[in-house]
Structure 1
């Protein structure tokens, strides 16, 4: 008889479905979940957490550090190849491929999310289609940007993608022209944001948008189905010549090396990723499924006020971040640098040069068998 312990993040989307499904797994085994803050989920050292928990809910950029320290088990050791193939065929966008490194899958995609736009329906009647349309809302004081924690850098990356760039391609972080244009856009979009909004994480931004009403539009913020309502609408971010820029997020469940998963635990994980659970149990418990069958289910979409149909094209084309050792601290440092440029504390050219230098150092220190994008 074994009690397994998992760690997830402290939000209804991250915990409700997992906690509701946990408990007695059968055969004398049980599972319980502990939680950490969103900030902990985004930046806590994965190698330390893996020594304390059997299951970890993580984001794909943690894989570099997890593999460097041999912290988690490849999924192919736990499930037959036909099951893995079925999950891969059924996942929405890159929500499963983001967890594949060096030819092996390292986490099961429970939750799929990417950066999308959010607007108050009463303040912004139609979502801006282009960056110029979004800039037109700035003078009305309606626009806030997601800059707290790692999100300043992630927003910059998404804008670069919309301008035709691929961050990290060829070993360079950005093409200079696209990066300067993207940083200029992010700075202008942030220039008249409601006071204090720059320090809010995505949950805080959406809370304030819903409850206070002084934010009318956020061009890039991680989508939360829990906030989709008659008041708040999600959709594609502004595009440049039809190209959508977005950075995939979401969560996967990894099995740590300390764990010896029983048949009952593996059956439980298989249930969570089943199409039945993804279309029913997960959405009914505040979750955001990873199965494309759920994202394209008219009943699931209607219950979510059109969240899934409005953001499907965005997640299907989302960019995958690097998965190399040291990326997580780099992402935090990079966001701090981007905030310096956005606030005017440093010249954009100097910040971009600093970002390139730090990214090159991360790649130089990475192991040869890691993927860079």
Structure 2
């Protein structure tokens, strides 16, 4: 029996899965933008295995399109994977007391730098602003990333967004974040505002148009050309503000599992796959043992960003969150373009967030 799987179109998302699959799974790909925003229930109607982002869980559970992994794997092995995964990666796929996906890949927003252009990367947001006045610095703003950058800076300033769902963010923190983003973006190369993280990292690695990006999702596939370090903090030694990304492997409700398929998934989560096979095939493992292994491929990438991944903020996962994330990003970009005020933007984002929490998808 051959299963169908869908992942995202990048060596980090595809190569290791395809190399390990043999004749068991045929993997298709979708663009990064589809991974970030395509309705997961539509994908699960067509594929047995789906690589997804944890904020999609709310809509997935509302539509009933995923199989709970508690029914497929034992409690001991799920607990072992939870304990062994870095930061909140495994927990980000837990909802309503059940496990809905396994973290194959761990990623969070970190800093990317061309040391040959700027020297030692900045460690605080004050240092980022000073660097922006003498070298090209860009924020990640395309698609949902404008709000994700906003959220990460808020975390660095000491406030996790949506801790109070009705408020979303306090006035003081919200204004401070928008002020900081506006100051950095005003000096950024204009071409960078439309680039997704892959586009930003490509531009940095191929040209001198961008010397530093303080918050961009880390890609180990660029570690030979760029230096990746912890996300900036508000003050030396403070929490690096970052929003968790990465990918989880989910089983669709249409899938009839076999022992062979479950053993294949177990192997993907095994120490040998996480520490050897995935890194050797452009993968970015989720196991903490891999991130802290000095012998692993591109060990400096993991060592210099581990603290950020361990402390990353987990986004809300209610059914309407994906739409909110896109709409809030458009609001943030409007502020940076001086098309709306800070006050109006914060009020609008709060309304969008409250409205998103009432969104219900019909269960199929």
**TM-score using structure 1 length:** 0.94
Partner of 1:183: 178
- Shift of the alpha carbon at 1:366? 5.7
Q: Indicate the SS of the match to 2:358.
A: helix
Partner of 1:306: 300
Pair 1:329-2:328 in alignment? no
Q: Is the 8 A contact 1:128 1:134 kept in 2?
A: yes
Partner Cα distance (1:32, 1:176) in 2: 49
Q: Which runs of 5+ in 1 are unaligned?
A: 25-29, 368-373
Query: 1:169-190: per-residue Cα shift (whole Å, max 9, x none)?
Result: 1222111101110111111111
Partner Cα distance (1:217, 1:168) in 2: 29
Q: Is the 8 A contact 2:52 2:249 kept in 1?
A: yes
Q: Is the 8 A contact 1:141 1:192 kept in 2?
A: no
- Identify which of 185, 189, 198 aligns with 1:194: 189
- Shift of the alpha carbon at 1:330? 1.1
Partner of 1:137: 131
Q: Indicate the SS of the match to 1:248.
A: coil
Partner of 1:370: none
Partner of 2:161: 167
Partner Cα distance (1:19, 1:149) in 2: 27
Partner Cα distance (2:87, 2:4) in 1: 29
Q: Is the 8 A contact 2:162 2:169 kept in 1?
A: yes
Partner of 1:10: 9
Partner Cα distance (2:171, 2:123) in 1: 25
Q: Is the 8 A contact 1:228 1:305 kept in 2?
A: no
Pair 1:113-2:107 in alignment? yes
Q: Indicate the SS of the match to 1:240.
A: coil
- Shift of the alpha carbon at 1:129? 1.6
Query: 1:140-179: per-residue Cα shift (whole Å, max 9, x none)?
Result: 2410110001000000000000001011012221111011
Pair 1:84-2:90 in alignment? no
> 1:150-299 residue pairs with structure 2 within 5 A?
150-171=144-165, 172-229=167-224, 231-241=225-235, 242-299=238-295
Q: Indicate the SS of the match to 1:267.
A: helix
Partner Cα distance (2:164, 2:201) in 1: 36
Q: Is the 8 A contact 1:161 1:246 kept in 2?
A: yes
Q: Indicate the SS of the match to 2:118.
A: coil
Partner Cα distance (2:303, 2:77) in 1: 27
Query: 1:282-320: per-residue Cα shift (whole Å, max 9, x none)?
Result: 0000000000000010011xx315000000000000000
Partner of 1:315: 309
Q: Indicate the SS of the match to 1:57.
A: strand
Query: 1:88-134: per-residue Cα shift (whole Å, max 9, x none)?
Result: 01000011100011111100100000000000010121111211110
Partner Cα distance (2:186, 2:164) in 1: 33
**TM-score using structure 2 length:** 0.97
Q: Indicate the SS of the match to 1:110.
A: strand
Partner Cα distance (1:34, 1:267) in 2: 21
Q: Indicate the SS of the match to 2:340.
A: coil
Partner of 2:43: 49
Query: 1:34-87: per-residue Cα shift (whole Å, max 9, x none)?
Result: 000000000001111110000000000000000000010111010011110110
Partner of 1:27: none
Partner Cα distance (1:264, 1:198) in 2: 45
Partner Cα distance (2:14, 2:303) in 1: 24
Partner Cα distance (1:362, 1:332) in 2: 11
Q: Is the 8 A contact 1:324 1:366 kept in 2?
A: no
Q: Is the 8 A contact 1:96 1:108 kept in 2?
A: yes
Partner of 1:359: 353
Q: Is the 8 A contact 2:5 2:49 kept in 1?
A: yes
